[in-house]
């Protein structure tokens, strides 16, 4: 399958030279790389069928009825040797601790603003900064119970960089767990020889954290997962996690708030709810506090949260920490709150809110990636070298009009990994990123080894988001170096 594979000019995750697999990829090379195309195709179809029958799909609503698409899954795993992972784990832990301290500070004493480590106006002008959160005491001082930190490997230096932080309601962990399940079934033998670190404890770690947040001194708190419903593109993940954690999956209409206490409607009347793992965005969670037209949320939920009668994970207002302009200051947070040097570097970032930096960005639009600060999912983005003249001019106008809303970064040559191209029936190098899922229990950060490797399946594309034609791979962290 891998004969004639072209390494290209990027860092290749699998090969160090044409035909020579990196040491940590040798067993995969022996097991998967040497399959005949027919055999490979068989397994690929089996894997696809497994995803379809289990309904591991996301929904695209363009025809009224909703089309379900498979999130494309590529069978070549993304492999990391232990030493690389250990460094990532240390760097991610440090970062998550700092982000949590920043949130606690910014909605509390605001020391960092007083010490002028970050411009006050930059923080307060964040679209996702929630004034309602100032002075709210959250359970065990945890804000970012779950965060997904996007990493990319820069082909220039072979080094992992942090591309963005997701501290609101990051999704994708269900794909990590299901990809692994399908992989162990499809390539049981290879898997066995590779000694891959397990990941299936994620739901248990998460439920432990959620249970620890219960405000009442009860030994058996009621924890629920709040979903926008089956029309949400991540609905599969919501029901999957609820099932794995053995908690109730609820929609807004299942909950009522009475006298600042949250209840769910059961066939035997109302039952009190202690902890909500919410997968609804801030804006929609409580029509009384935020968007009035929200039909998804629960009226009065914010009041119950402020009163400390219910815990929410993640906390409200976390968007201020993953704003793309704030991102530039995360290394500062690490120094300021932890007194440490950042283990993982950021991608160089130009803040368009600063006049000199805006000037540079406007002069170099064709070389840079421009991103809207509050967006995610690959939306609101300009990739300069690949963009048309019209699109560049369109962004120029936007930047001049609302500079605070944009940042720019140099184009990073994302590393590549072989992926199957169904059009040619061959393996080809495709750009990948990595999103590990970090859990914070108030004392330490727990990360299941690996995470979601997303792959841009279009030739040459740097955009890995599922809404933009991306797929995923199973990520293997080896117990050792090979």
Partner 1 sequence: MPVPERMLSRIAESLFWMARYMERAEDTARILDVNYHMLLEQSQQTYRLRWEPLVNISGEQERFFQLFTLATTETVFQFLGFHEENPNSIAQCIYRARENARTIRDRISREMWQDINSLYHMVSRFRAEEEIAVGPHRFCSTIKFGSHRFHGVSDDTLPHDEGWQFLQLGRALERAEMTARIVDVEYHNLVESLMPDEKPDNHQWMAVLKSVAAYEIYRRQYHSHIDPERVAELLILHPQHPRSIRFNVATIQTSLRAITGSAPGYYINEAERLIGKLHQSLMYDRIEEIFERGLHNFLTDLQKTCREIGYQIARTYFYY
Q: Which of 51, 58, 240, 406 binds partner 1 (CB under 8 A)?
A: 240
Rounded least distance, CB 464 to partner 1, Å: 27
- Of 256 and 386, nearer to partner 1 (C-beta) is 256
**382 beta partners:** 370
Q: Which is nearer to partner 1, 123 or 301 (CB)?
A: 301
Closer residue to partner 1 (CB): 272 or 396: 272
Q: Which range touches partner 1 (CB under 8 A), out of 146-154, 245-253, 411-419, 450-458?
A: 245-253
Which pair of tokens denotes residue 402?
Answer: 């609302």
C-beta separation of 100 from 143 below 8 A: yes
Residue 20 beta carbon to partner 1: minimum distance, rounded to whole angstroms: 42
Q: Is 278 helix (H, G, I), strand (E, B) or coil?
A: strand
What angle do helix axes 235-245 and 173-186 make, rounded to 10 degrees?
80
CB of 248 to partner 1, least distance (A): 6
Is 193 a residue that touches partner 1 (CB under 8 A)? Answer: no
Among residues 53, 155, 171, which one has the least CA distance to residue 466? 171
Among residues 221, 224, 290, the alpha carbon closest in space to that of 252 is found at 224
CB of 132 to partner 1, least distance (A): 28
Closer residue to partner 1, CB minimum distance, 125 or 239: 239
- Pick the stretch among 5-13, 128-136, 242-250, 377-385 that binds partner 1 (CB under 8 A): 242-250
Residues 442-471 interacting with partner 1 (rule: CB under 8 A): none
Shortest Å, Cβ 169 to partner 1: 17
Q: Which residue has the tokens 């058996």?
A: 220
Q: Minimal CA–CA distance to 469: which of 8, 55, 70, 180?
A: 70
If the CB atoms of residues 137 and 253 are measured against partner 1, the closer one turns out to be 253
Distance CA 119, CA 106 (A): 12
Give the CA radius of gyration of the chain: 23
> If binding is defined by CB under 8 A, does position 271 make contact with partner 1?
yes
309 three-state secondary structure: coil
Query: Least distance to partner 1 from the beta carbon of 45, Å?
Result: 15
Residue 54 contacts partner 1 per CB under 8 A: yes
Closest CB 291 distance from partner 1, rounded Å: 23
Q: Of 254 and 283, which has the nearer Cβ to partner 1?
A: 254
191: tokens are 């898997």
Closer residue to partner 1 in complex, CB, 238/473: 238
H or E, element range at 153: strand 146-154
According to the binding rule CB under 8 A, does residue 264 interact with partner 1?
yes
Q: What is the DSSP letter of 229?
A: -
The β-bridge relationship of strands 437-440 and 67-70 is unpaired
- The residue within the footprint of partner 1, chosen from 239, 349, 461, 465 (CB under 8 A), is 239
How is residue 104 written in tokens? 């606690």
Angle of helix 355-363 versus helix 389-401 axis, rounded to 10: 170
> Shortest distance, CB of residue 185 to partner 1, whole angstroms?
14
Q: What is the DSSP letter of 326?
A: G
254 is an interface residue for partner 1 by CB under 8 A: yes
Spatial distance between the Cα atoms of 48 and 277, rounded to a whole number of angstroms = 30
Work out which of 251, 281, 322, 474 binds partner 1, going by CB under 8 A. 251
From the CB of residue 64, how many other CB atoms can be counted at a distance below 10 Å?
A: 6
Q: Please tell me the count of residues contacting partner 1 according to CB under 8 A.
A: 24
Q: Which CB, 250 or 280, lies closer to partner 1?
A: 250
Cβ atoms within 10 Å of 52's Cβ, excluding its own: 12
| Contact pattern for partner 1 over residues 209 through 238, marking x by CB under 8 A | --------------------xx----x---
Q: Using CB under 8 A, pick the residue from 9, 53, 62, 397 that binds partner 1.
A: 53
253 binds partner 1, rule: CB under 8 A? yes
Q: Considering only residues 121, 193, 243, 364, which one is a binding residue for partner 1 as defined by CB under 8 A?
A: 243
Q: Give least dist CB 163 to partner 1, A.
A: 32
Q: State how far the Cα of 127 lies from the Cα of 148, in Å rounded to an integer.
A: 20
Q: Which stretch binds partner 1 (CB under 8 A): 170-178, 263-271, 385-393, 405-413?
A: 263-271
Nearer to partner 1, 62 or 424 (CB): 62
- DSSP tally for the chain: helices H, then strands E: 14, 25
> C-beta of 154: minimal distance to partner 1 in Å?
40
Alpha-carbon 115 to chain mean position? 31
Phi, psi of 126 (to 5 degrees): -60, 135
Q: Is 248 in the site for partner 1 (CB under 8 A)?
A: yes
Closest CB to partner 1 among 118 and 242? Answer: 242
Write the CA distances from 59 to 56, 238, 281, 446, integer angstroms: 10, 13, 18, 31
Q: Which residues bind partner 1 (CB under 8 A)?
A: 52-55, 229-230, 235, 239-240, 242-243, 248-251, 253-254, 264-269, 271
């Amino acid at each position: 399958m891998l004969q004639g594979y072209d390494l290209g000019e990027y860092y290749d995750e699998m090969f160090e030279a044409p035909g020579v697999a990196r040491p940590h990829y040798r067993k995969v090379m022996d097991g998967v790389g040497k399959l005949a195309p027919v055999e490979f195709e068989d397994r690929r179809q089996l894997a696809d069928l497994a995803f379809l029958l289990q309904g591991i799909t996301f929904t695209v609503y363009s025809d009224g009825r909703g089309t379900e698409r498979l999130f494309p899954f590529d069978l070549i795993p993304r492999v990391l040797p232990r030493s690389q992972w250990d460094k990532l784990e240390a760097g991610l832990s440090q970062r998550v601790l700092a982000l949590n301290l920043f949130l606690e500070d910014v909605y509390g004493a605001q020391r960092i603003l007083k010490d002028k480590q970050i411009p006050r106006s930059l923080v307060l002008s964040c679209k996702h900064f929630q004034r309602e959160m100032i002075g709210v005491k959250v359970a065990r001082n945890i804000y970012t119970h779950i965060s997904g930190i996007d990493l990319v490997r820069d082909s220039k230096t072979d080094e992992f960089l942090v591309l963005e932080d997701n501290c609101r309601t990051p999704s994708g962990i269900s794909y990590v767990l299901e990809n692994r399940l399908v992989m162990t079934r499809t390539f049981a033998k290879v898997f066995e020889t590779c000694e891959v670190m397990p990941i299936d404890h994620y739901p248990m770690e998460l439920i432990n954290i959620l249970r620890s947040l219960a405000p009442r001194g009860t030994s058996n708190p009621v924890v629920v997962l709040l979903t926008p419903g089956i029309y949400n593109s991540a609905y599969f993940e919501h029901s999957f996690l609820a099932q794995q954690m053995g908690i109730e999956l609820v929609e807004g209409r299942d909950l009522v708030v009475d006298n600042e206490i949250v209840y769910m409607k059961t066939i035997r009347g109302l039952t009190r709810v202690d902890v909500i793992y919410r997968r609804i965005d801030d804006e929609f969670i409580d029509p009384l506090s935020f968007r009035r037209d929200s039909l998804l949320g629960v009226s009065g939920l914010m009041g119950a949260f402020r009163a400390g009668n219910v815990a929410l994970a993640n906390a409200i207002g976390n968007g201020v920490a993953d704003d793309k302009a704030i991102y530039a200051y995360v290394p500062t947070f690490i120094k300021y709150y932890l007194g440490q040097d950042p283990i993982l570097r950021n991608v160089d970032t130009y803040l368009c809110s600063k006049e000199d930096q805006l000037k540079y960005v406007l002069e170099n639009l064709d070389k840079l990636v421009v991103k809207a600060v509050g967006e995610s999912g690959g939306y609101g983005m300009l990739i300069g070298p690949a963009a048309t003249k019209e699109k560049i001019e369109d962004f120029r106008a936007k930047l001049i009009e609302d500079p605070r809303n944009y940042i720019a970064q140099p184009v990073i040559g994302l590393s590549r990994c072989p992926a199957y191209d169904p059009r040619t029936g061959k393996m080809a190098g495709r750009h990948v990123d990595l999103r590990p899922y970090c859990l914070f229990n108030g004392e330490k950060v727990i990360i299941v080894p690996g995470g979601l490797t997303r792959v841009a399946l279009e030739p040459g594309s740097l955009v890995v988001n599922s809404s933009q034609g991306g797929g995923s791979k199973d990520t293997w962290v080896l117990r050792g170096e090979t």
